[in-house]
């Protein structure tokens, strides 16, 4: 069974995905998921920004297994192509039989936003009403939808982009406002969803109770947050090992992960009662597997 991006979008909803991702993160931190480190290879197709990478992400959980292959080619934007492309293969854990192969681009988009929604719901103050977004691409759009689902009170959407026209367009589409980077960064909740190799968010702009959802610039040498933003915050991640291996925000600022989000969700570690929090997301195969299993189940035709 091959499922296209259109097939995926026809059945995958945030209403179902967000609670499923929440449980998957709890299971991961409880040691119920087998997830080796992702393997990343440089494509060597070109120089500089046009040099893409190729990653392989295997995982076993529950009654299924899966492997995601994903590419990131920043130079594709100039060609009118998606910068991220992915395919996910879902297999039976009992027999090893392939169950489905599906396009992974929409899954990556939606599961990333779903993870952030879970983090927001458990870490942000209940009275939070302002959402500042640094970036105006696919992840910015998907996050607005997912975050509003768990916190409808986020009604002050502030959007900044290096390309002002993109910020204006996204603001018009979502009922937000295109603002300066300083104003976006001063919101209760700040989403960083850029591909910047160097910090765009400065800690001096953040309010004392800020929750930062950092989902962009994945890689040990890339970062979106400066030292002050990282070092003045309690850092929460999907996975300590993943963040401390793959996040330049963590590695280059010499900060440590204080807790995994699954530990906070299960109650084994308490969330900070006050102060700034940075939630660093690098994306995990268990999140892709969770979504893929849901899609496969929804697309099966009942036997007559």
Q: Over the stretch 145-170, which tens digit does the pLDDT of each residue have?
A: 999 999 999 999 999 999 999 999 99
pLDDT at 267: 96
Which of 241, 246, 245, 247 lies closest to 260 in space, CA to CA?
241
Return the SS3 of 7. Answer: helix
Q: Model's pTM, two decimal places?
A: 0.94
**Structure-token pair, residue 162:** 């290096």
Fold of 126-282: Rossmann fold (3.40.50)
The architecture that CATH gives domain 2-107+286-299 is: 2-Layer Sandwich (3.30)
Q: Give residue 21's pLDDT.
A: 98
Strand extents, DSSP E, 154-265: 156-160, 177-178, 189-192, 211-214, 233-237, 259-260
Q: Tell me the per-residue pLDDT of 95-147, one tens digit each, with 9 for 90 and over.
A: 999 999 999 999 999 999 999 999 999 999 888 999 999 999 999 999 999 99
* Domain coordinates in residue numbering, the chain: 2-107+286-299, 126-282
Task: Please report the pLDDT score of residue 304 as a whole number.
Answer: 39
Residue 301 φ then ψ, to 5°: -95, 125
The predicted-structure confidence for 227-245, as pLDDT tens digits, reads as follows 999 999 999 999 999 999 9
Burial status of residue 154 (CB atoms within 10 A of its CB: 0-12, 13-18, 19 or more): buried
Q: Which pLDDT value is given to residue 43?
A: 86
- Tracing tokens 């026209």 back to the chain, one arrives at 165
pLDDT at residue 187, as a whole number: 97
pLDDT on residue 293:
97
For residue 42, the model assigns a pLDDT of 87
Per-residue burial over 15-27, b if 16 or more Cβ lie within 10 Å, else e, is: eebbebbbebbbb
**Among 291, 205, 211, which Cα is nearest to 19's?**
291
Percentage of the chain beyond pLDDT 70 is 99
Q: What is the mean pLDDT of residues 42-68?
A: 91
pLDDT for the residue numbered 301: 52
Give CA 235 to chain center in angstroms: 15
Q: Which tens digits make up the pLDDT trace of 190-229?
A: 999 998 889 999 999 999 999 999 999 888 888 999 999 9
pLDDT at 303: 40
């Amino acid at each position: 069974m091959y499922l296209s991006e259109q097939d995926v979008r026809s059945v995958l909803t945030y209403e179902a995905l967000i609670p499923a991702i929440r449980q998957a993160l709890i299971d991961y931190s409880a040691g119920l998921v087998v997830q080796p480190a992702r393997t990343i290879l440089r494509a060597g197709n070109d120089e500089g920004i046009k040099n893409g990478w190729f990653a392989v992400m295997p995982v076993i959980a529950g009654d299924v297994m899966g492997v995601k292959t994903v590419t990131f080619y920043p130079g594709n934007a100039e060609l009118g192509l998606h910068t991220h492309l992915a395919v996910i293969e879902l297999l039976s854990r009992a027999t090893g039989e392939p169950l489905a192969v599906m396009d992974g681009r929409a899954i990556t988009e939606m599961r990333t936003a779903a993870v952030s929604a879970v983090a927001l719901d458990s870490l942000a103050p209940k009275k939070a009403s302002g959402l500042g977004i640094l970036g105006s691409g696919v992840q910015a759009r998907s996050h607005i939808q997912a975050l509003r689902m768990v916190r409808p009170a986020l009604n002050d959407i502030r959007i900044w982009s290096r390309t002002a026209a993109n910020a204006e367009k996204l603001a018009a589409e979502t009922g937000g406002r295109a603002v300066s980077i300083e104003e976006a960064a001063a919101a209760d909740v700040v989403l960083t969803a850029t591909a910047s190799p160097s910090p765009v968010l400065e800690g001096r702009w953040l309010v004392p109770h800020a929750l930062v959802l950092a989902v962009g610039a994945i890689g040990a040498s890339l970062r979106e947050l400066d030292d002050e933003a990282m070092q003045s915050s309690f850092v929460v991640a999907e996975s300590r090992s993943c963040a401390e291996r793959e996040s330049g925000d963590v590695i280059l600022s010499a900060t440590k992960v204080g807790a995994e989000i699954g530990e906070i969700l299960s109650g084994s570690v308490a969330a900070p009662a006050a102060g700034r929090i940075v939630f660093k997301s690098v994306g995990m195969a268990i999140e892709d597997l969770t979504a893929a299993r849901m899609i496969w189940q929804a697309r099966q035709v009942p036997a007559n």
